[in-house]
Chains A and B, each alone.
Chain A
Amino acid sequence: MTASVYVAITIALTTISQLLQKSAALRYRQQASKNALAFYCREPRFWLALLGLGLGMLTWLAALGSIEISKAYALLSINYLLVPIAAAWLFSERLPPRGWLGAIALCIGVLLIGKS
């Protein structure tokens, strides 16, 4: 039970970190400076994303300590659908139908890899 909670937190943290990174990248494109490093050093979303990734790694390790790896991977494969859905919602990105089919294939693939 607690292991599933750890996996759920991991999924949430990695998805949020990706969205924060994308949001930081959009901000970078909107400003004039071409110095990426200087921009991201001053961009709180970038640092929050870094924090989220670090925490996500810890909760992932905690999950792996008390759940079968195959189960953990199966749950984590949800990310491949969750991230495009969130990106469509928040950033108005539009995947073609072919792209959604691809994301579903990836989910199945990662699930199978985890189960083997």
Chain B
Amino acid sequence: MRTAPNYQLGLALVCCSVLLVSAAQLLLKNAVMHTDGLRNLGVIVAQMQLKILGSFIGGLLCYGISMLIWQRALGELPLSIAYPLLSLSYPLVYLVALLLPGFIETINPQRIGGLIFVLIGVALLAPRKNDSPVRSTDNNEN
């Protein structure tokens, strides 16, 4: 039997995964904005427009790496806690899109409300330090 699941490590891995997914979304959004919804991606490739290609490939790469880190995170955390925490990428992407030039995100009260609900949800879901470990078929601590 391997060592008991490590919640702290799991949460750190989930955070890495969220950061990478958010970066992937921004990079892909950037690529899509410059390719008219990827419709003229072929032209972009033919013309070797490296900035856009880099954004596209970088986005896919970030997704791939985040998936691998996610796999490791699931070894340390219950799925029912880890999966909802992924939604942290919503407020993160919104914040970065607001700060970065070019994404033209306007402030929308309903969206802000939604983001607050997401943050409340994450705060409720995050395991507390004195939580009894979530029981799971193999996550028996001993």
Interface residues of A (CB under 8 A from B): 18-19, 21-22, 24-26, 28-30, 32, 36, 40, 46, 50, 53, 79-80, 83-84, 87-88, 91-96, 98-99, 101-116
Contact = CB atoms under 8 A, between A and B. Distances in A.
Secondary structure of the A contact surface, majority rule? helix
A99 B125 contact: yes
Interface in B100-128: 108, 110-111, 113-125
Interface residues of B, number: 40
B71 A26 contact: no
A25 B116 CA distance: 32
Given A21-B70, A84-B84, A106 B117 contact: yes
B45 to A, nearest CB: 19
A110 B114 contact: yes
Contact of B87 (A24, A36, A104, A109): A109
A4 B79 CA distance: 26
A103 B125 contact: yes
Contacts of B135: 92-94
A93 B121 contact: no
Given A84-B84, A93-B80, A93-B136, A113 B90 contact: yes
